[in-house]
Structure formats: structure tokens, C-alpha cells
Amino acid sequence: METHDLPIVLIDDGVRAQAQTLVKVEFAEFGITIDVGIKAEIELVCSRCIETFVKNVDYDHNIVISLADNSWEIDDETLAMGIISVADNTIDIQELVRQLLVENQEMRPLCSEECQGLCPVCGINLNSENCECDDNYKDPRWSKLRNIKIK
């Protein structure tokens, strides 16, 4: 078994993160197993208040490369990622980390469950300021729908 500890910084392609990866390669009777452990600080934007925040995440990914009929076979999920080149005997750990971070991002990340978001009238961040806007504000774009009477 061979183990490598790799620091990775991502700043492009929709991901801003610093990750520490632990890669374990083990040769087995059937082929090779690669276990990748990822601990990352990923920079996200809150879907309510649009403030940037950092979230700590921890992921594990297992890759199995098996030897069958004098050729190498890779599991379908890893093959679809396009991170392994059997011809060059390489694996792109940085791309694997990037894809796992993108794949596991929340659809609507929140800086906290208590986030109050932005005022729909004046747009200030309600987490840090108070506004005097009318609580009964109704968006005029929905006015036609308010007139519909359902029996």
C-alpha cells in the first residue's frame, strides 16, 4: 500500500476551495484500489443573503481498476469522470477533487439556517442591518394573480 498526502487549491471552473487529499493506492489480486479522502474548505455564496462563506466538507471516493483478460477495466462512475489515463498510467487527482466538490454542492447553500436574507424592497442584508420597509409589501408583478378567486 502506498499513501500520499496532497494539498490542492482550486480557483476556477465554479469552485473556490482549498483541499487536503489523502490518496491510498493498494495493489490487490484483482487489480488496484485507490481510496481518495478529501477534506476541503470550499467558498460558497449564500442563496439568501448572497454573502460569501466558507464551508468545511469531507468526502471519500473509491476507485477500482481491475485486471481482466490482459486489459484494465475502470468502474463506470470513475470512467465517466475522465480522470484516469490507463495508457499513460496517470490519475488527475485535482480534477477528481474538483468534480467531487461540484457534484456534492448544495443547490441552495446557506451561510446559516438562521439567515434572514435580503429585504425584497430595499435589498439590504437583514442579517447585519434593519430596514424600515413595509412588511406587507406585495410585488406588483404578481398583482393579476391576487385577483384570481378560487371556489
Q: What is the full per-residue pLDDT of the chain (151 aa) written as tens digits?
A: 667 677 888 887 678 899 999 989 898 888 888 899 999 999 999 999 999 999 999 999 988 888 777 777 887 888 888 888 777 778 888 888 888 888 888 899 999 999 999 998 888 999 999 988 877 777 788 888 888 888 7
Same domain, yes or no: 145 and 121: yes
Same domain, yes or no: 82 and 32: yes
Flag whether 108 is in a domain.
no
Same domain, yes or no: 16 and 75: yes
**Cell numbers standing for residue 63:** 476507485
Flag whether 72 is in a domain.
yes
Same domain, yes or no: 38 and 73: yes
Q: Do 91 and 24 contact (CB within 8 A), yes or no?
A: no
Domains identified in the chain, total number: 2
Same domain, yes or no: 22 and 95: yes
Same domain, yes or no: 21 and 79: yes
- Full-model pTM: 0.73
The range of the structural domain enclosing residue 124 comes to 116-151
Angle of CA points 92, 93, 98, to nearest 5°: 105
Same domain, yes or no: 78 and 7: yes
